[in-house]
């Protein structure tokens, strides 16, 4: 295999939730590596603005709560480009208003729980189901964005974290059931990522608490996660499927309270 297997020349990639944050960074990176990118988002004006800045890119409206919208999106991308090679399921129900409601199970609203699963799990499943016939033809692949919260217990975000855990299992199921057809399926689990939305809305004191538990010297940027997604989507990852790549700066890899241990033992630790 050529050393430029990381390139995506000739590939068609659709990125859900592609108008901002990790999705936008991934769209830019994949386009820079030669892919033709379809930016699918409910924020269609922002999607169009980004698509206009990328060669060969298009914007497609997408509402993950609507099965019809998902099928229309996949069909529009396949019709426009004549193929589909990469499905990046990045969109999720995650905004300041949602996060404030998503707490512990005792106080969980049933409507919020159902909507979270409708968007994150059901929407991702339908997108995969609609894309699989096209990916079979192209020997393409799926990359799902999940979260390191799917691997850890937390005081908050019970609905979000459990929905992302479901997508991890969906990833393995698709890899197992469709691998013999030449289709790969993997997932990337970011930790707290410094998207514009997080910088604006997340309480600084909580952000600092997560940053203290990061094994790097900073939190991740959207571009850091985009690199992981683009790698898994490329031929450089041709022998990787059914896997979860945790890209959280090491937060999920260590014993609890590492920040306190650092403070106790000093800066040399």
**What CATH number does residue 179 fall under?**
3.40.50.720
- Is 47 within a domain? yes
Q: Find, among 5, 49, 42, 45, the residue nearest to 27 by Cα.
A: 49
- Is 31 within a domain? yes
- Is 226 within a domain? yes
Give mean pLDDT, residues 238-255: 94
Count of domains observed in the chain: 1
Residue 3 has pLDDT above 70, yes or no: no
Residue carrying structure tokens 């919208």 = 69
- Is 169 within a domain? yes
Residue 249 has pLDDT above 50, yes or no: yes
Q: Determine whether 81 is an active site residue.
A: no
Residue 1 has pLDDT above 50, yes or no: no
Task: Return d(Cα 80, Cα 76) in angstroms, integer.
Answer: 6
pLDDT tens-digit map of 209-227: 888 899 998 899 999 999 9
Per-residue model confidence (pLDDT) at position 203: 85
- Name 49's Cβ contacts closer than 8 Å, sequence gap at least 6: none
Per-residue model confidence (pLDDT) at position 28: 98
pLDDT band at 75 (very low <50, low <70, confident <90, very high): very high
- Is 63 within a domain? yes
Per-residue model confidence (pLDDT) at position 269: 58
- Is 137 within a domain? yes
- Is 263 within a domain? no
Per the structure, the complete domain to which residue 174 belongs is given by 12-203+220-255
Per-residue model confidence (pLDDT) at position 195: 87
Rg (alpha carbons) of the chain, rounded to whole number: 18
pTM score:
0.93
Mean pLDDT for all residues in the chain: 94
Catalytic residue (choose from 28, 36, 59, 160): 160
- Is 268 within a domain? no
């Amino acid at each position: 295999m050529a050393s430029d297997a990381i390139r995506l020349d000739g590939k068609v990639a659709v990125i859900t939730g592609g108008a901002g944050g990790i999705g936008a960074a991934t769209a830019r990176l994949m386009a820079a590596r030669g892919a033709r990118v379809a930016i699918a988002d409910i924020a269609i004006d922002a999607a169009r603005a980004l698509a206009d800045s990328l060669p060969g890119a298009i914007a497609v409206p997408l509402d993950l709560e609507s099965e019809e919208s998902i099928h229309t999106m996949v069909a529009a991308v396949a019709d426009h480009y004549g193929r589909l090679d990469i499905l990046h399921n990045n969109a999720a129900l995650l905004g300041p208003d949602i996060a404030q409601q998503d707490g512990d199970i005792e106080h969980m609203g049933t409507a919020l729980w159902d909507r979270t699963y409708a968007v994150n799990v059901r929407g991702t499943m339908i997108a995969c189901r609609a894309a699989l016939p096209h990916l079979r033809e192209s020997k393409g692949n799926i990359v799902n964005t999940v979260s390191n919260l799917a691997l850890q217990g937390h005081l908050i975000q019970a609905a979000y974290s459990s929905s992302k855990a479901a997508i991890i299992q969906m990833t393995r199921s698709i890899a197992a059931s469709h691998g013999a057809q030449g289709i790969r399926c993997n997932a990337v689990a970011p930790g707290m990522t410094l998207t514009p939305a997080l910088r604006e809305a997340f309480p600084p004191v909580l952000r600092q608490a997560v940053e203290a538990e990061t094994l790097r010297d900073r939190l991740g940027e959207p571009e850091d996660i985009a690199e992981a997604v683009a790698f898994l989507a490329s031929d450089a990852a041709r022998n990787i499927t059914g896997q979860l790549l945790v890209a959280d700066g090491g937060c999920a890899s260590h014993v609890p309270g590492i920040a306190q241990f650092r403070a106790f033992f000093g800066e040399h630790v």
